[in-house]
Structure 1
């Protein structure tokens, strides 16, 4: 029997290995996935959600309930609140991570400034990581706590300097 697979029998719904490796590498370069196993990160990627947005399209609005964080694969996103730009983010940046731990309304808007591709890491993905690989789940939660503490400190400094 031939080892070559016929394209007719290819699983069209399985994400390509190269895609999984690329997405895992990008997440692993963020502080959120610091010291997380590459293998375990790659296992999460097929359950993440890839979305493409057009220029000036809303990813989420302030006040909406969040369900996860987003990593920018390409393009650019403005994070705004009360008509003030808080950050302009590009490829390799992530945002919305507060939604990984609390089921609360978003504190800012995320709007694209050009055609943008993002991949979402949802709270259910974090729960799966924690259930299947508790050590990596605990590391990710510590990383998340450090990120949120740093953002709070920076926010406090900007308020006291105004």
Structure 2
């Protein structure tokens, strides 16, 4: 693991660093660590602690969830690519990993630890706040996507679409 060599122009194109100016990005960069992984490497394991948010610079990873009732059964929940991040949930809710993350291709990933995120909060609260908001937005987008997928699953009870208030008779 090495300090990141990623430049500001690259960072500002991605959601985790959205809305941050060069000064904020320059503040964050010394805290970023760069990691490289070969294909089929487990980066995070379901049920184990994680104290970092991971940001994919190059490569592809699978988010894999193991069944709680049948430990031999697992399913790929989604695949993430360049520009995507993972590990945000554990950083925010301080729980163990909800799923495993396995590389599908050689990957280059930068990480930011919760300890370093805290240090950033002490130095520049505005930058820290923007990072947390960006992480929350990413989590929210994923939750909306999961809601949409659940809504489309067959054999779900359906409800009639409610009439809007303007359509309702009084």
Q: Report the TM-score, using the length of structure 1 for normalisation.
A: 0.78
The corresponding residue for 1:6 is none
Distance 2:44 2:118 in 1: 22
Distance 1:135 1:61 in 2: 32
Distance 1:51 1:150 in 2: 26
Computed over aligned residues only, the root mean square deviation of the Cα atoms, in angstroms, reads: 2.1
CA distance change for structure 1 residues 96 and 125 in 2, over 3 Å: closer, same or farther?
same
* 3-state SS in 2 of match to 1:71: strand
Distance 1:62 1:27 in 2: 28
Out of 134, 142, 149, the residue aligned to residue 151 of structure 1 is 142
Distance 2:6 2:38 in 1: 23
Q: CA deviation at 1:104?
A: 0.4
Residue 44 of structure 2 is aligned to residue 60 of structure 1? yes
Listed as ranges, the gaps of 5+ residues in structure 2 are 67-73, 154-170
Residues 94-139 of structure 1, C-alpha deviation per residue, up to 9 Å, x if partnerless?
A: 2111122221011111101122121111112221222111112122
Listed as ranges, the gaps of 5+ residues in structure 1 are 1-13
Q: Is the 8 A contact 1:26 1:92 kept in 2?
A: no
Q: Is the 8 A contact 1:27 1:71 kept in 2?
A: no
Q: Report the TM-score, using the length of structure 2 for normalisation.
A: 0.75
The corresponding residue for 2:59 is 75
Out of 28, 39, 42, the residue aligned to residue 23 of structure 2 is 39
Distance 1:101 1:15 in 2: 23
Out of 88, 93, 99, the residue aligned to residue 90 of structure 2 is 99
Distance 2:10 2:47 in 1: 28
CA distance change for structure 1 residues 90 and 152 in 2, over 3 Å: closer, same or farther?
closer
Out of 123, 126, 140, the residue aligned to residue 131 of structure 2 is 140
| Higher helix fraction (1 or 2) | 1
Out of 25, 46, 49, the residue aligned to residue 9 of structure 2 is 25
Out of 111, 118, 121, the residue aligned to residue 120 of structure 1 is 111
User: Structure 1 stretches (4+) deviating beyond 4 angstroms?
Assistant: none
CA distance change for structure 1 residues 124 and 37 in 2, over 3 Å: closer, same or farther?
farther
Q: Is the 8 A contact 1:20 1:46 kept in 2?
A: no
Distance 1:153 1:20 in 2: 30
* 3-state SS in 1 of match to 2:101: strand
